[in-house]
Amino acid sequence: MGKIKVAINGFGRIGRSAFKIAFEKKALEIVAVNDLTDSRTLAHLLKYDSAYGIYERDVQWGEGFVQVDKKKIPVLAEKDPAKLPWKKLKVDCVLECTGIFTKDGKARMHIQAGARRVIVSAPTSGEGGVQTFLLGVNSESYKGEEVISNASCTTNSIGPVAAVVLENFGIKKGMMTTIHSYTQDQNLQDGPHKDLRRARAAAHNIVPTTTGAAISVTEALPQLKGKFDGIAVRVPTITGSLTDFTFLVNRSVTAEEVNEALKKAAESERYRGILAVTADPVVSSDIVGNTNSSIVDLGLTRVIDGDLVKIMAWYDNEWGYANRLVEQVEVICK
């Protein structure tokens, strides 16, 4: 079997991280990048990264391409996905990383252009027919859909923890708060934004805001629909985030029982590389570059009156998520 041919639409933080991860996969071949930015800028941002340091591979550029080591990759600048040369390039899967073409009708334009599969790197909450699949949570229910959502970094952090609690103890209801590093959707300095909190200086404020992650996870765990919600609090860190869960469970438990269930899950084949645990007193910079979707901080687990459970889990909101995104390609294109 030949390599799976991958194209990346949108070369921002997630697109570039996914590129680096996919480049190391022997089963994958990156055949094109589509972004409206020029190839010189894209090559520079691929090489030099404020969060992860300098890319160890040689990066060159020219008119209409970037070159990593000896591999030359076409760089396109097409606004309309339906006009992209996916048929000519025999693209097996498009990573849709623009954050724009999220609904089925828009993401499906890649299919019209000749791609076999599309993975949207954003939550869709089932809108427009795009179903959410989370590795380790509900990926076994994938039935060959052409366009799917890999949801968000926070959804991928929530999903495994919620699934373990649900399967071991049952969940009556739950809430989550993600203490999340700032992103491109916030302002560097105070300025206009449709969200008046995100309008404020990202590196100078704690910014409460919305997240679709809690609702999105119920697409993968429908047992939680109407029982689970949450908010985000953006903080002045470049990457590395922390999810704070509170669950009301169905039976009386102890913190030790909860931690034991999470440790057992982390050791299982199902969650290997997706869910991890740590007993060390870590901080956010310690998990930058961690490839897991969720790293439960066992020392922070709390239980009140037997059925009110708090769990906290770290995640690298860029690198951890991008790893699941690329692994999803291997799952749906195998």
93 and 163, same domain (yes or no): no
109 and 168, same domain (yes or no): no
Query: Any binding-site annotation on 117?
Result: no
Q: Does 280 reside within a domain?
A: yes
187 and 234, same domain (yes or no): yes
Q: Does 90 reside within a domain?
A: yes
Query: Any binding-site annotation on 211?
Result: yes
Query: Mind listing the pLDDT tens digit for each residue in 108-128?
Result: 999 999 999 999 999 885 556
Q: In percent, how much of the chain has pLDDT > 90?
A: 93
- CA 97 to chain CA centroid, Å, is 10
Q: Does 219 reside within a domain?
A: yes
Q: Does 265 reside within a domain?
A: yes
Q: Does 115 reside within a domain?
A: yes
Query: Any binding-site annotation on 210?
Result: no
Residues 6+ apart with CB under 8 A from 298: 259, 262, 263, 277, 278, 279
Query: Any binding-site annotation on 284?
Result: no
**pLDDT at position 105, please?**
78
Domain range enclosing 25 = 4-129
* Residue 93 is among the residues annotated as catalytic for this protein: no
The answer to whether the beta carbons of residues 294 and 275 sit under 8 Å apart is yes
Query: Mind listing the pLDDT tens digit for each residue in 213-262?
Result: 988 999 999 999 999 999 999 999 999 999 999 999 999 999 999 999 99
d(CA 117, CA 95): 9
Number of Cβ atoms within 10 Å of the Cβ of 211: 22
Q: Which of 93, 97, 153, 333 is catalytic?
A: 153
Q: Does 138 reside within a domain?
A: no
Beta-strand runs (E) in 102-215: 117-120, 131-132, 147-149, 171-181, 207-209
Give just the sign of the alpha carbon dihedral 302, 304, 306, 311: negative
Query: Any binding-site annotation on 333?
Result: no
Tell me, what CATH number does 304's domain have? 3.30.360.10
pLDDT-derived band at 284 (thresholds 50, 70, 90) equals very high
pLDDT-derived band at 129 (thresholds 50, 70, 90) equals confident
Query: Mind listing the pLDDT tens digit for each residue in 44-73?
Result: 999 999 999 999 999 999 999 999 999 999
Whole-Å CA distances, 10 to 167, 184, 205, 224: 37, 13, 28, 32
Query: Any binding-site annotation on 241?
Result: no
Query: Mind listing the pLDDT tens digit for each residue in 81-118?
Result: 999 999 999 999 999 999 888 877 789 999 999 999 99
49 and 113, same domain (yes or no): yes
**pLDDT at position 126, please?**
56
3-state DSSP helix/strand/coil percent for the chain, to nearest 5?
30, 30, 40
Tell me, what CATH number does 94's domain have? 3.40.50.720
Q: Rounded mean pLDDT of 197-213?
A: 96
86 and 158, same domain (yes or no): no
Cut 0.85: pTM above it: yes
Query: Any binding-site annotation on 154?
Result: yes
pLDDT of 207 > 70? The answer is yes
What's the domain count of the chain?
2
**pLDDT at position 302, please?**
99
Q: Give bridge partners of residue 76 from the DSSP assignment.
A: 34
**pLDDT at position 300, please?**
99
198 and 270, same domain (yes or no): yes
115 and 32, same domain (yes or no): yes
